[in-house]
Every structure is written in C-alpha cells, then in structure tokens.
Structure 1
Amino acid sequence: MSATRLALQAQDGQQLAAYRHEPSRPPRAQIVIAPGMAIPQGFYATFAAFLAGLGYRVWTFDYRGMGESREGPLRLCKADITTWIALDLESVVQHATRQDATLPLFLLGHSLGGQTAPLLPSIRKVAGLINIAVGSGATRHNQPRIQRSAPLLWYVLTPLLCRLLGYFPGKRLGILGDIPRGAMMQWRRWCLTPDYLLTGEPGAREAYANASFPVLGLTFTDDELLRESGSRMLHEAYTSAKVDYRVLSPGSFNQERIGHFGFFRAHQEKVLWPLVGEWLDQHC
C-alpha cells in the first residue's frame, strides 16, 4: 500500500490537497471519502489505509479553506457548502473516474460528507454510498446538550463573528474548527430548518428521492451530537434506493464509547471497520 499526495484542480481553478491510497494489487473499486464539517482529511488516513489493504483505491481530500487545502487568510475564502460539493468533491470524483472509468466508484461520507452526497453533480457515477454518523443537524434533532447551546451559536455567535471576522473562528471557541463564512451561514440556515437540508436547500429532497444507488448507514446510539431520529429521517428520504440502515450501540461491540467520531479510531480495525468491508464485498 502507498499514499501519494496530489494537488487537484477544481473547475474554477482552485487547488485542492488530496491523497491517493493505492492497494498493493489491482484495485477492486475506488472509494472517495467526503469529510465531515471542519474535519481534516488526515483524520481518515488510517481508515483509508485499511480500505486500501482490502484492495480498494481510496481518495481523501480537504475542501477549500480546510486542512491542507487552506490558502491564505480564511476571511478571503468565499466557499459555501454548495461550493464544497459542486466543485471540490466533484473534482475528486472526476479525477478518480479519469484514473479508471471501468472501476465502480463508491462514496463514503462522514457526517456532513454523507448528508450532502446526493447533491453531487456527478452522482450518476456513484455505485454506492456509505454513511457514517450521518444525520440531521436541525436543532430538533440535536442532543439535549447541543440544543441548549444552539440559540447562542446560531443567533449570536455565528452571525456576529462571521460579520466581524469574515469567517467563523471555531478553533478558538472550541466549537468544531475554523469555517469559511459562506459555509457556516449556509449550515446555519439548514440547522434552523426543521427538516435540515431536505427543506433548507432547494432541490435536496428531490436529489435524495432520485438516488438509486445502494446505501449503507451506520448510526451510533451514543452519538453526542445528533439524535437517531434525524438520521432515520435522512435515510428514509432515499425513497428509490435500497438502504441498509443500522443503529449500533457500543455495548454490542464490548465498547464503552463510539460516538460521532469514534468509528474512525484505529482500534476499530477489527471491530467496526469490517462492517464496511463486508458491505463493499457484497456490492462490488
């Protein structure tokens, strides 16, 4: 296995940092990992290496303004979530397809990356979607602790700081990480809408309904951010797709905690990661 750093160019000329994780034998399929909000691609590197070890060519990347794709002051980054999907994720999918159009291509989305997958312009190139901790970020679907702080975040901190600084300084506040103003304000709109992006983003519900690829959804009972009801709502919006939706508890795997981020920890290699490997085996 090997990991190669690449500089990909989006359609508008923006440079993006990406890594290609190559298996030691001819790849069975390609997998593009779409990261969660403010999560750098390095967080997924160990899991990407695991998938490469199973014989898949895996692509990780950072959205513009994030991680290794960040260039200059974040206040100058004009990206919103639509830009991240329609240009950044799209460029990675297109590049992967050009590498080998004969291989099936799967998306693996963590949180935001899975929520927005149906909005990808080249969604017809996708052979399947794996959702990890993907659910609705609407305030009614937040866990109680998040619900209590949501009014301060959405009605005070986000509009005020984005206006003053030109971006959201989440790293200093201990709330996620630094996020471009456009992305944070678009996310705010979704989170203040009862059905999240399904009604907060024009065309999103239709995009979900029109998706026909198989979906694996892994949701965790101890997710500290999102309620299971919101995850179920999004997966039920795939009305034309075959959805394998699983609600997993840490106790079932002799673990104290999994949560919103724990699936990608290295110790899950022999516990949770094989669930994805088995599903891919069935759909390749």
Structure 2
Amino acid sequence: MQNLQRQTETFGFDTEQVSLNALDGYVLNGVIYSPTIVTIKAKIILASATGVPQGFYRRFSEYMTQYGYQVLTFDYRGVGASSPKNLKGFEMSYLDWGKLDLAGAIDYFADEQLPLFVVGHSYGGQALGLTPNHAKVTAMYCFGTGAGWHGYMPLKERLKVQVIWNIVFPPIVAATGYLPWSKFNMGADLPRGVYQQWRKWCKNPTYFFSDPEQAALKDLYAQVKVPIYAVAALDDDWALPNSRHAFMQHYQNAEMHYIDITANRLGLKQIGHMGYFRQGSEAIWDQLLHTFDQLIYD
C-alpha cells in the first residue's frame, strides 16, 4: 500500500488516501475511513455504481465509522481518480470492474480477524458475482441493483432511456471515443468499452446473462454463497423489484434477502436511484447497520 495523504478529523474518524492494485496490477486510488474513538469491529468495501466517483459515498462512509466500521471506497479503472488523463483509446471490459478491481480491493482490505462486508450500489451489487475471491466476504448489502432493461421501468423513464441509448449517445461516443457522462450531470465520464457493453446488455431482460459470449457467468454467479441483502426503493425507476429479481436470481446459491423500502415510511421525500447514499439518508443506513451488527454478534 502507498500512503498518499492522511487527514485527521476531530469527531471520531480519520481518512487516508491509498493506492491498491487490481488483480492485473492496474493501480486504483481509494480512501480508507477509520474510526478513532471506537474500536474497529468490521470492514466495509463500497462497490460503486457505474460512473459514480467514490466521493459520492463520503457521507455514508463517515457515518459508518461512528459505529466501529472501517470503510474502503475506491474508483474503478477509467473512473475518477483511477482514470487516465484521456479516456479516448482506453480499452477495458465492463466486467473488469468486478473481476479485477473489486477483487483486488477484497484482497487488499480483507482481514482474517475481522468480518468483511461489501456494500454495493447498482453495478456494485452485480460485481460480487464476478470476483474469484468472494468467499472472503461475510455478506453483501446492495442498493438499486437490477438488470437495466428498459422494460422494467415506468413508461416515462423507459422512453427517456431508449432515446438516450439509441439516439443521443451513439454519435457522441463515435466522435469522442468515450462516453462524456459528466456532460449530462450523470457522473464521471466512461470508457467506450463500458458504454458499448452496457448498452448491449441493457437490451435484454436478463442483462449479460442473455449474452451467448458470457455463458460462463451463470455458473460463476452460482458459486456465490454469502448472504445477500438486496434493497429496492419503490421510487427507483432504474431498479424496481422486478428488475432487481431479474438479476439477483442468478445468485442462486446465496442466502438472498429482498428488501423493499419507501421514502414515506423512512421519513424521506424521495429516494430514487441515487438517494440511498445522499446526505440525510441515515434511516436507510441504520437498517444496514442493524443487519451487519446481527451478523457480527449472533
């Protein structure tokens, strides 16, 4: 590990910027949030959504430290702090984020003395099944993970997504060599390979499990046996329960828990696809904490 910078906070945690290696040696940049007042009782790896820089998860990570959890956030290759200066010509597979990057984070952060949890957001919940070392993980809690097919979305969102995928993005990517996601206020820019595979797989109700070139993935996901808690907000148009089930069913040998939440019941105005981790979502995070504490102490 290379320590790049340390910043000490005054209310119970500190942060450390680190670099770590993916399984193929690609250098990823991350941040470790560590409690300083309470003892570390477990570790959490935050597996991000597509194109969402790790800084988006800062509030969540800080909150977890109050309860004894040490948290690692990191950017996948081609995203944020792990991106080259120019994405044009940067070649990678969308699957690399799980097979190589999350897997590298698991090897880096795993500790035989402490439980290790993965908290996944959208793609992050898909990524665990791609890792060869998922047995090192105690459990996964994921938010907004679904199959991505427009047919699972409400009509308005369905039409919007089809226009973006089929009319707006293709000429832009052809001209730039990457997807300038940031220009649409949707996150960090994405490598061309991520865009091409994502667009292709989102045309199928069961996502990449419908792709003949990815036939081995069904057996790969069937190997995962850790408990999984899959949360869907009922106002999350991108990953409603039917979309969630279409993907998560492939974790067929995992102990699966499906959890539906609503904004009103949690005292929130809305959740949507990004609200799981926005400031003010402590009611959602408390449910996660309760689950993790039960797994640690029961």
TM-score, with structure 2 as normaliser: 0.88
Q: 1:146 is matched with which residue?
A: 157
Matched, 1:266 2:279: yes
8 Å contact from structure 2 (residues 46, 120) kept in 1: yes
How far has the Cα of 1:145 moved from its partner? 2.3
Amino acid at match of 2:109: A
Distance 1:139 1:104 in 2: 37
Distance 1:167 1:14 in 2: 20
Q: 1:9 is matched with which residue?
A: 21
Q: Give secondary structure in 2 for the equivalent of 1:164.
A: helix
Q: Give secondary structure in 1 for the equivalent of 2:31.
A: strand
Amino acid at match of 1:217: A
**RMSD of Structure 2 on Structure 1 (CA):** 1.8
How far has the Cα of 1:176 moved from its partner? 4.5
Distance 2:227 2:21 in 1: 29
- Write out aligned runs for 1:168-207 (5 A): 168-200=179-211, 201-207=214-220
Amino acid at match of 2:158: Q
* Percent of aligned positions that are identical: 29
Q: 1:252 is matched with which residue?
A: 265
Distance 1:14 1:236, change over 3 A: closer
- Structure holding more helix per residue: 1
Q: 1:71 pairs with 84, 90, 110, which one?
A: 84
Amino acid at match of 1:96: F
Bigger CA drift: 225-234 or 88-97?
A: 225-234
Bigger CA drift: 14-23 or 40-49?
A: 14-23
Amino acid at match of 1:142: M
Q: 1:229 is matched with which residue?
A: 242
8 Å contact from structure 1 (residues 80, 184) kept in 2: no
Distance 2:155 2:128 in 1: 27
How far has the Cα of 1:57 moved from its partner? 1.5
Q: 2:287 is matched with which residue?
A: 275
For structure 2, the 5+ residue unaligned runs are 1-12
Distance 1:123 1:26, change over 3 A: same
Distance 1:202 1:116, change over 3 A: farther
Q: 2:134 is matched with which residue?
A: 123
Q: Give secondary structure in 2 for the equivalent of 1:48.
A: helix
Distance 1:197 1:262, change over 3 A: same
Distance 2:185 2:35 in 1: 37
